[in-house]
Structure 1
């Protein structure tokens, strides 16, 4: 999983242990909320410039792989 990787960080000292994009204080849930609301990745990145596109793509790829492995 991506926990405490170059993509996601979880620390009790940062946002109370909420999973955030590494080296930021931006919760991963914020990206999911944007996507659920019909916003684009570009909209998210415009709003949170401390997150980079590579982090978002890596997160989505890993989530996709884990989902497929769960249902396969």
Structure 2
């Protein structure tokens, strides 16, 4: 991640496509193939973005309700 690319957000290596765009595009119902074509990504690049998103969300700190 660098400030000059994708405003410092995690992005697909060698592109200016951020991981959130890949996940969000799938989230609105686009197929895997449609995401590849729309964002000009390879199959492996889309998978890598999903793996990264999964890793990050799995390692986020848990928040306890206040007062606990």
- Asked whether the two chains share a fold, i.e. TM above 0.5, the reply is yes
> Structure 1: which 4+ aligned runs deviate by more than 2 Å?
58-62
**Pairs aligned (count):** 57
The structure richer in strand per residue is: 1
After superposition, residues 5-20 of structure 1 pair within 5 angstroms as 10-20=1-11
User: Post-superposition shift, 1:60?
Assistant: 2.7
Task: Name stretches of at least 5 consecutive residues in structure 1 with no aligned partner.
Answer: 1-9, 68-72
> Could you tell me the TM-score, scaled by structure 1's length?
0.64
1:58 to partner: Cα distance: 2.9
Unaligned runs of 5+ in 2: 59-68
- The answer as to 2:36 corresponding to 1:45 is yes
- Greater Rg by CA: 2
Any idea what the Cα deviations from partners look like across 1:26-61, whole Å, max 9, x if unmatched? 111111111111111111111111x21112223334
- TM-score, normalised by the number of residues in structure 2: 0.67
Tell me how large the CA RMSD over aligned residues is: 2.1
1:57 maps to which residue?
47
Q: Distance in 1 between matches of 2:3 and 2:35?
A: 25
